[in-house]
Amino acid sequence: MCCMTKNTKNLLFIKQFHIFVYNQTEVFSQTDVSSHYRMTRPYIILTILFLTFIGQLFGQDTTIYDQENASMFSNNYTFIKKNKSDNFGTFIQYSGTDDMQHWFGQGVFTETNKKYFLTFDTTNNRNRIETVSSTGHSDTLYIKWFDWSGEQQEWFSIRFADTTKNKNIYRADYLTGFVKIPKKDLTDKNLSLFAFGSNRNIFDFSVADNVDEINVFANDPVLMHTFDKKKETLRKNGKGFTTVGMWTKEKPTQFVVRQK
């Protein structure tokens, strides 16, 4: 993530906004069931307001298309060009439901007078870990959680895989967003990552010797999803374009341009 282009940063910024608002909603819903319903409406409103002004924030040519007649969910494509006259650029597809599930896809596109041709970047669509050794905290293991695209998730806990031997739970620090485990506590090298405030196991992994930091890249299978496609063609028309939408029984549906 150290050498991102400006367009890539823009795509991640859009994504980070949705993740941030979801995380705040999740925190409230863990302690008060009714809070989930109270937070759903602000989430949707914030999303709409944010995307309405996204083109102005980026200072680039940004166009957003929304699935027409979408009820209880959103599904949109954001196209970003460096210059308005370009026939290529980057895109992100986002879909979210009122029960806090969301789908993401991103990649590059080219366009003609009649079509958009999308290529989705699926390089990192898999669970994985990265490790770091020889740091200034050799007595403490740091664990960070990222989704598949590299966006940090700051609400989670770590437990030992065998809870019959060790029932300790290590929660992510509120300020830093990651877990710290004293190495003297690592009586078991097999650990599990859990969603915040729940018993939902996201990912199991092992700690190798002489490792000081672990970056876990894993999607929450209940709430975080990726679009299962590598290529897509969007057919332009007077209102925007048509393609298979969400919950349309694999039938093409209309997407309309969002007015700035």
Residue 78 has pLDDT above 70, yes or no: yes
Judge contact between 118 and 231, C-beta under 8 A: yes
- Residue ranges of E strands in 86-148: 88-97, 102-111, 115-120, 128-132, 140-146
pLDDT over 70 at 185, yes or no: yes
What is the pLDDT at residue 36?
43
Q: Using an 8 Å Cβ cutoff, are 84 and 59 in contact?
A: no
The DSSP secondary-structure symbol of 173 reads: P
Q: Mean pLDDT across the chain, nearest whole number?
A: 83
pLDDT of residue 116: 98
Give the Cα separation of 231 and 163 in Å (integer): 43
Distances (CA, A) of 15 to 8, 33, 102: 11, 26, 10
CA triple 41-45-49, angle to 5 deg:
170
Cα 123 from Cα 251, distance rounded (Å):
28
Better-predicted residue by pLDDT, 142 or 166:
142
Q: Which of 120, 96, 125 is nearest to 229 (CA)?
A: 120
Q: What pLDDT shows up at residue 242?
A: 97
Q: Is the pLDDT of residue 167 over 80?
A: yes
In angstroms, the CA 17 to CA 148 distance is 16
At 119, give phi and psi (nearest 5°).
-120, 115
Residues 120-163 pLDDT 10s: 999 989 999 999 998 889 999 999 999 987 889 999 999 999 88
Q: What is the dihedral of CA 1, 233, 15, 133, to 10 degrees?
A: -30
Express each pLDDT in 38-77 by its tens digit. 444 445 555 554 555 454 445 589 999 999 988 889 999 9
The burial class, CB within 10 Å (0-12 / 13-18 / 19+), for 178 is buried
Residue 42 CA to residue 65 CA, distance in Å, equals: 22
pLDDT at 26: 42
pLDDT at 24: 44
**12-16, 166-170, 190-194, 208-212: least confident range:** 12-16
Tell me if 247 sits within 8 A of 59, measured CB to CB.
no
Distance of CA 55 to the CA centre of its chain: 20
CA dist., res. 193 & res. 170, Å (int): 10
Alpha helices in the chain (DSSP H): 6-31, 33-52, 54-58
Dihedral sign computed on CA atoms, order 243, 246, 247, 249? positive
Residue with tokens 């969603």: 195
Q: Name the β-bridge partners of 145.
A: 153, 216
pLDDT at 153: 93
